[in-house]
Structure 1
Amino acid sequence: MKRTLLFLLFFSVVFFSLSARQRSSIAGQLFDELGQPVIGATIRLEPGTYIRQSDGTGKFHFNDLPQGHFEIIINSLGFEPFHERIKIGSDNMSKKITLYHQSELLQSVEVTGRKEKEYKNSLSYGGTKIATDIKDVPQSIQYITKELMQDQGAVRMIDVVKNVSGINQHTFYDDVTIRGFRNQGGVGSNSSNQLFNGLRTFNGFWRQNLLNYLERVEVIKGPASALFGNVNPGGTINKVTKKPLDVNRRSVNFQVGNYGTMRTNLDFTGPANKDKTILYRLNLGYENANSFRDLMFDKNIVIAPSFSYVPNERTRINLDIVYNKSNSRLDRGQSIFGSNDLYSTPISLNVADINDYLNEETYLITASLSHKLTDHITFNTSYLRTGYRQDLLEHRSTAFAVDSAGNQINTLALRRASQRHNEQLSDSYTAYFSAEAATGEVRHIIVAGYDYNNSLIPVGSSQMDAAGYRLKDGTVTVRYIPARAAQYEFYEYNGQMIPKPNVPSYDLEANKHSLLDIGGYIYAANNTDVVVPFFSQQHSVYVQDQLSFRRLKLLLGLRYDIFVSHLDYASAEVSKVTQRALQPRIGVTYEINSHVNAYATYTTGYNPQDARSQNTLAGGPFDPMKSYLLEAGLKTDWFEKRLSATVSVYDIEQRNALYNAQDPDNPDRLNQIGKDKSRGIEMDIVGSILPNLNVVATYAYNHARLLGASGGTDSLYNNQQKPNAPAHQGSIWTKYQFDSGALKGLGMGGGVYYIGKRSFGFQGNASITPIDAPTYTLLNAALYYRVNKVLLQLNVNNLTNKTHWVGGYDSSRLYPGAPRTWLAGLTYDF
């Protein structure tokens, strides 16, 4: 027995000794093409489960490896994947490996289609003007991919941006509040706050176009003025179009829903020749839908072709075209009885009438070029032309009718009729060089360039308004004055004689529409901002350096802008305003570990006061608006970089914003706010916890205040939360897809959307109390079932049929949210 035990002991010692001799190690270090260490790269050995990450000097080490053949696989965001077959023998191995940056990293506007099919997007072009890992940009940048839009059945901007923290709908229009600052850039705006493929544009504002041609929507939080000039201090929305792919993909989608909704979308892409030097993509969309709102409908056509020419690895040229034609009516919102009772009228009530129409046409044409002059220097240039045309007839509520004594009749909405023809054109151009360099251990990515933008309302736009009360002499007057009652016409309403309006008032109790004789109205020309000939242009030069030193990244930027606006430029009485701004940007990112980056940033912004707001009637001239942002936070990646999370705190201040003074004797008069402040905390989570479990979650706390006004009483402004800016809001959306078993092909989605306490309408008038808006929580759900190339989908929003309001101004313009809606779709991919 003892001999047996000794033999087993001896055998074990020999066996483990031999085994030890047969196991080895491998050590290495990663560099980029400039000789700088690559930090946080994932190194994997296959077969097996051997995984390491490169440290702060690019080094990695594997111990206790068996001898044999392995494949070493290295992945790092922004670099080409590395694969090499190696043989590990009895000796320890040491390797130095060079990783090469992906060629797309020096592009400006994206000209390469995105092949991923996930909620998570890792690269942003808008944050630094070149492709940069979002985790490395020292500013909060959030996004919504086309995959998330499709899963939620989101087809318009207000539905899309609900997936981003700190954004709240302001009205029915293309009009949101970001971090407490209203973001609108519609017709007549001198400083649109929307970007299209990274270039400044504007939108029709009154109606929201379909978004079936978008790859994703980016929200760059804070004033991104160092890159884009005058912008909203709360944030900038960048719409990124789908680009052609070098593989064939075709998709046809049909949707039907309640309120007579019917949509069709087509998306075709692929190479146009054998060499794949010419790529194409075509997106088509058609919509015919009614609404829960009386008289409202939408008929839309979208045609969006895109072409890429890739003659070689150094040159890429892209052309994107989006054309949208829309027929609808303008919805100015719900009117309630002359009080703050939101429930006094049904949410379907609309004071528009049968005669009304809103016909719009919009086109956007983008051309871009990216050419590598050398391995480390790239030239980028892009041009965007935006055109818009509108023809409008509308009836809208302006106040409440009065009786013979001048007392308000709370159930009778006084209306105004407007006929408008408007056109606007815009050109945006950018050209810059991006270059990679190194000074010692510091790596630089330098961007230097020039931007040009103009906006034109040409001669020929016009607006005619019919409003006020009729006088016996055949004229009209704005107000009814009881002391001069003998001069007014009267008519009978509910047994009493009341002043006769120029346009028939709308009885909110009867709530009936009719075909009106608009030819009987007495019209007067209205030279509003959107029809007076106007031309503005902006010239900008800028330089930016992204410095990397081991775990530390520093972003330094400086921009100089010259803004010139010409009011009524076609006349001899042209009014010209010139304003200049110098804007710095400083940001720092530190990699705490491979999962977590900490960042902080300081950036400034400005918005010029153009010639339209500088006249003496408005109280001008006014100083330009100036802003700054202080922000800090954490950006993290989890679950093998499938899930990202951002937490940020911010402090934004804007000076010199203009608000209407609510002067009844001078409706054009403006007050300039001393300070417009917003402070808050935000959290965004997006990605997948499991390959078949996706999640998007947001939370925002915002403390937005107006502090002081020149020409007004400070007490009207101090300590009032800004309108349509909830203090708390949040959302969560998840989707689970079964990938095996009897339920394979079945998917389920669900979400919760919460908006906290806020107010409607900042009046600046002590006699008018802003309306308190009720909080609301919406529940949404979805079902999916895929069979081979066919996807069936059902989305139900507002499951509990919650009555709620998404925005508003006053008792004549409130914007209720939709009740329960459903949308069923069928998609065929081939």
Structure 2
Amino acid sequence: MKNSLLFICLLCISNISMAQTGQLKGTIKDQNGKSIEFINVLIEDTQFGTLTDKEGKFNFENVPTGHYSITFSSFAYSSLRKEVDILAHQTSNMDIVLSESQMELQTVEILGRAETSYKNTNSFIGTKSSTPLREVPQSIGYVTKELALDQGAYTVNDIVKNISGVNQYTFYNDITIRGHRIQGQDISGNLVNGMRAFTSFWKQQLIPHIERVEVIKGPASALFGNASAGGTINRVTKKPLTQTRQSISSTVGSFNTFRILGDFTGPMTEDKTLLYRLNLGYENSGSFRDLQYAKNLVVAPSFSFLPSEKTRLNFDIVYQKSDGRLDRGQAVFGDGDLYSVPITKSLNAANDYLKEESINATISLRHEFTDQLSFNSVYMRSNYAEDLLEHRGNNKFANFGDGSLDYEKVEMRVGIRKRDWSNNNFSNYFNYDVSTGSIDHKVLLGYDYFQQVLHPGGSQLQARGYLTADKTGSINSYNPANKDLYALDANGNPIPVVEHFDLTDPFANKLRDLSKYIYSSNVYAQSMLHSHGVYIQEQASIGKFKVLLGLRQEFYTDVLNYKGDSEEDVTQNALIPRVGLVYSVTPNINLYGTYVQGYQPQSATVINDPNAGGPFDPLTSELKEIGAKSDWFEGRLSATIAMYYLTEKGALYNANEPGNPDLLIQTGKDLSKGFELDLAGKITDNWSLIANYAYNEATIEESDDENLVGRQKPNAPKHAGNLWTKYIFSEGSFKGLGFGIGANFVTERFGSLGSTAEPPVFPAYEIFDAAVYYKMNKFQIQMNINNVFNKTHWVGGYDYIRAFPGAPRNVMTTVSYTF
């Protein structure tokens, strides 16, 4: 009886409790009607809190009846508070519209990007402040981490095809933008979070820790001083988020590829004043190229401290370690038939290696003095170390005794080298927002300092050329007129210091006995360069017009014989203007025009190198560009059209002279003019698209060598285009299943501009890629098939000893888990 009474009492209490609860659900969208994912929804003074899903929906069940305040917050959108009554046995519905936050809290990109599509809305690289891309009067291309993941990309070179006017140049960390080459160690074209980081020239940059890669087309000297004419590449690292997100993924596939990645972020304190993010990446992969492999490690922690609404501090580190071999490309027979030697064959020896290590440490601060005045300060320290042993071609074929060439054998050289560099960057600027009548002003005043040092201990052992007659020395090149000076074999041919590479020998990639070589040594003298600049920028809004005016005074100094007895400063200065105008035709279409000057001093070490053939003038450039930017499909898809006229004076090219690989030639004037189109975003919530096309006529207009005038610049295709689209089924029997398909094409390109012969021509190609995805709850599996039809192609190159073939058909499978 007692048990029965107890059961009845509990049942009554349960019924009373259930009678006093209700349900709250709703949907959150932006002002364009697009559903917003990862919005914080909190019922104040309770334990109820959640994040919206990809459809912008949230749901709370068994909420006690009563009157509540509900807050909706995200750093990308303005916070909102709503009141609601929860009634017993009833469902309360809320349809919320959030507007994008207008706060400048990401001016130094302290916090992570909230968007999760192929589209990126705001830019920091274009104006050094958070500005909608549609309002920047210059073309800016980008690739988001979402697109990189969908394409199975792992390096910057993997994704440049998605940006108009940007193409690979070689296997190395170098590309062309509008026909102008950007090299990895070139501080004028490579940025990390808007700062100049020292990167490898030889290895392509990894992107597992990168939020997006963006390219500002044309010179950016008014903002960054020493800037390449074609454009500037900026890699934005992933920053902490206020929401907890964790994911791991693993990739296996062709060429013995194995990769594993981890991405973890969220608050470290209950009040979310301290946030963290940790990105980890490891790769152990082979290659379609003989002897090539890659062992890479990336560790990238980041922390954000938000003590108040007015002060924000970020600290992040990116550590990278790489082990592999330096691949200088494919050599083919001297008749120039690119198909005469398999694309797999490299010139390496089995005991070659390339070991690299780098670390970037950045601290950034933003403080708001008032609602109108804020201060930003960023410091980055960048270190890079290189340890190299390589067998490589000497840029020519082997000599017979009569001076003719053996077109089936490559003359070789060996280099053993160690070098260490460090960069220091310091950037400070004020933002001041003020209105004068009907004109709104955003004024930026700043000062930058940059320093690069080559540390002591850098040195190289080098073996090349042919043995002297007594076999105790070497001569760099062979001259049949002085045949008696050389050691000759039984056939009367000169004996090389380093055995020639026989392109017909299947065992040519063997271990080499380094003790048999005759070396010359070279010690790299310590060097230092530094620059600093003062700049001012005004962004004025006048009705439908937005005017951008910028001016920078740059001071550049190269220190020769740094810390030596004859230390000497070589200084170069420039005053650099920038003018831009944007006109809003409709709420979603803007027209723009811009005029920018560029400045890029030649390094004093190059200017004073007797082997280079200098001295050389600095590079100067000038960009005139007009275009249009717009958003479509309720803001989901962005489009940019640009027409440009870009001139550069003073470009340096390798003369491609046999036996003298350091000789450079300088052109008088280069001209790039063309048209570009970029599309990125979503057509529907489950249909993503990115497409681009570029027409680029990049020619040499003036040169002391008349044979160069009128030639298309190296590795600069006149036509290039790319398409990638992905569709995911969101309901029905195929829910979670998706497909991706893409294609890109490049027309023929010229190699090096050596004036002694016609430059090599690398043929046009079309490549097709495909992918299939399946997502179930927190798991996703995807398979990427690259180069579906196994097209033999070349991404670029210098000559017929250094051609760079693209990868044949390969398959990569990735499994991801989000928790």
TM-score, normalised by the number of residues in structure 2: 0.87
Q: Deviations over 1:10-51 (max 9, x none)?
A: xxxxxxxxxxxxxxxxxxxxxxxxxxxxxxx9599xxxxxxx
Relative to structure 1, the CA distance from residue 799 to residue 660 in structure 2 (aligned partners, 3 Å threshold; closer, same or farther) is closer
Relative to structure 1, the CA distance from residue 297 to residue 660 in structure 2 (aligned partners, 3 Å threshold; closer, same or farther) is closer
Distance in 1 of aligned mates of 2:76 and 2:269? 29
Say which of 658, 672, 685 aligns to 2:666: 672
Give the 5 Å matches for 1:385-784: 385-398=381-394, 399-473=396-470, 474-491=472-489, 496-512=491-507, 513-526=509-522, 531-615=524-608, 617=610, 618-661=612-655, 668-709=662-703, 712-713=704-705, 715-763=706-754, 765=755, 767-784=756-773
- 8 Å contact from structure 2 (residues 642, 675) kept in 1: yes
Relative to structure 1, the CA distance from residue 202 to residue 400 in structure 2 (aligned partners, 3 Å threshold; closer, same or farther) is same
- 8 Å contact from structure 1 (residues 298, 326) kept in 2: yes
- 8 Å contact from structure 1 (residues 78, 105) kept in 2: no
Q: Report deviation, 1:100.
A: 9.5
Q: Deviations over 1:389-442 (max 9, x none)?
A: 010000001111111111100001110000000111001110111011001000
Match of 2:343 in 1: 347
- 8 Å contact from structure 2 (residues 32, 634) kept in 1: no
Q: Which amino acid aligns with 1:753?
A: N
Match of 1:332 in 2: 328
Q: Report deviation, 1:593.
A: 0.2
| Secondary structure of residue in 2 paired with 1:404 | coil
Say which of 245, 252, 258 aligns to 2:254: 258
Asked if residue 220 in structure 1 is aligned to residue 209 in structure 2, the reply is no
Distance in 1 of aligned mates of 2:644 and 2:249? 41
Match of 2:797 in 1: 808
Q: Report deviation, 1:117.
A: 1.2
| Secondary structure of residue in 2 paired with 1:207 | coil
Relative to structure 1, the CA distance from residue 820 to residue 411 in structure 2 (aligned partners, 3 Å threshold; closer, same or farther) is same
CA RMSD of aligned residues (A): 2.3
Relative to structure 1, the CA distance from residue 826 to residue 78 in structure 2 (aligned partners, 3 Å threshold; closer, same or farther) is closer
Relative to structure 1, the CA distance from residue 575 to residue 505 in structure 2 (aligned partners, 3 Å threshold; closer, same or farther) is farther
Match of 1:11 in 2: none
Q: Which amino acid aligns with 1:422?
A: R
- 8 Å contact from structure 1 (residues 107, 378) kept in 2: no
| Secondary structure of residue in 2 paired with 1:499 | coil
Q: Deviations over 1:112-151 (max 9, x none)?
A: 1122211111011111001000000000011111100000
Distance in 1 of aligned mates of 2:766 and 2:99? 48
- 8 Å contact from structure 1 (residues 464, 525) kept in 2: yes
Q: Which amino acid aligns with 2:121?
A: S
Q: Report deviation, 1:616.
A: 7.1
- 8 Å contact from structure 1 (residues 673, 708) kept in 2: yes
Q: Deviations over 1:39-75 (max 9, x none)?
A: xx9599xxxxxxxxxxxxxxxxxxxxxxxxxxxxx99
| Range moving further from structure 2, 205-214 or 392-401 | 205-214
- 8 Å contact from structure 1 (residues 361, 390) kept in 2: yes
Q: Deviations over 1:81-130 (max 9, x none)?
A: 778899xxxxxxxxxxxx99836425432011122211111011111001
Distance in 1 of aligned mates of 2:530 and 2:744? 40
- 8 Å contact from structure 1 (residues 223, 236) kept in 2: yes
Q: Deviations over 1:662-715 (max 9, x none)?
A: 566976554331101100100000000000000000000000011222xx32x2
- 8 Å contact from structure 2 (residues 601, 618) kept in 1: yes
Q: Deviations over 1:514-546 (max 9, x none)?
A: 11110111111246xxx4321000010001010
| Secondary structure of residue in 1 paired with 2:160 | helix
Give the 5 Å matches for 1:42-441: 42=31, 80=78, 102=101, 104-105=103-104, 107-186=106-185, 189=186, 191-398=187-394, 399-441=396-438
- 8 Å contact from structure 2 (residues 198, 383) kept in 1: no
Q: Deviations over 1:587-639 (max 9, x none)?
A: 00000001200000001110112211222734443322111110000000001
Q: Report deviation, 1:471.
A: 1.1
Match of 1:51 in 2: none
The count of aligned residue pairs is 738
Q: Which amino acid aligns with 1:749?
A: G
Relative to structure 1, the CA distance from residue 812 to residue 312 in structure 2 (aligned partners, 3 Å threshold; closer, same or farther) is same
| Secondary structure of residue in 2 paired with 1:199 | coil
- 8 Å contact from structure 1 (residues 758, 773) kept in 2: yes
Match of 1:819 in 2: 808
Distance in 2 of aligned mates of 1:595 and 1:588? 16
Identity among equivalent positions (%) equals 46
| Secondary structure of residue in 1 paired with 2:291 | coil
Distance in 1 of aligned mates of 2:183 and 2:600? 13
| Range moving further from structure 2, 169-178 or 112-121 | 112-121
- 8 Å contact from structure 1 (residues 209, 324) kept in 2: no
Distance in 2 of aligned mates of 1:769 and 1:511? 30
| Secondary structure of residue in 1 paired with 2:529 | strand
Relative to structure 1, the CA distance from residue 291 to residue 43 in structure 2 (aligned partners, 3 Å threshold; closer, same or farther) is closer
Asked if residue 789 in structure 1 is aligned to residue 783 in structure 2, the reply is no
Distance in 1 of aligned mates of 2:420 and 2:213? 26
Relative to structure 1, the CA distance from residue 667 to residue 240 in structure 2 (aligned partners, 3 Å threshold; closer, same or farther) is closer
Distance in 1 of aligned mates of 2:431 and 2:99? 17
Distance in 1 of aligned mates of 2:598 and 2:589? 29
| Secondary structure of residue in 2 paired with 1:312 | coil
Match of 1:25 in 2: none
- 8 Å contact from structure 1 (residues 417, 467) kept in 2: yes
Q: Report deviation, 1:829.
A: 0.4
Q: Report deviation, 1:248.
A: 0.9
| Secondary structure of residue in 1 paired with 2:333 | coil
- 8 Å contact from structure 1 (residues 606, 627) kept in 2: yes
Distance in 2 of aligned mates of 1:581 and 1:178? 23
Distance in 2 of aligned mates of 1:400 and 1:550? 66
Distance in 1 of aligned mates of 2:170 and 2:720? 17
Q: Which amino acid aligns with 2:505?
A: A
Q: Which amino acid aligns with 2:126?
A: G
- 8 Å contact from structure 1 (residues 192, 202) kept in 2: no
Distance in 1 of aligned mates of 2:105 and 2:177? 30
Q: Deviations over 1:144-185 (max 9, x none)?
A: 111000000011011121110001100001100000000114
Relative to structure 1, the CA distance from residue 659 to residue 259 in structure 2 (aligned partners, 3 Å threshold; closer, same or farther) is closer
Match of 1:24 in 2: none
Q: Report deviation, 1:727.
A: 0.1
Q: Which amino acid aligns with 2:501?
A: Y
Distance in 2 of aligned mates of 1:672 and 1:526? 26
- 8 Å contact from structure 1 (residues 655, 674) kept in 2: yes
Distance in 1 of aligned mates of 2:149 and 2:492? 56
Relative to structure 1, the CA distance from residue 522 to residue 131 in structure 2 (aligned partners, 3 Å threshold; closer, same or farther) is same
- 8 Å contact from structure 2 (residues 313, 363) kept in 1: yes
Q: Which amino acid aligns with 1:691?
A: D
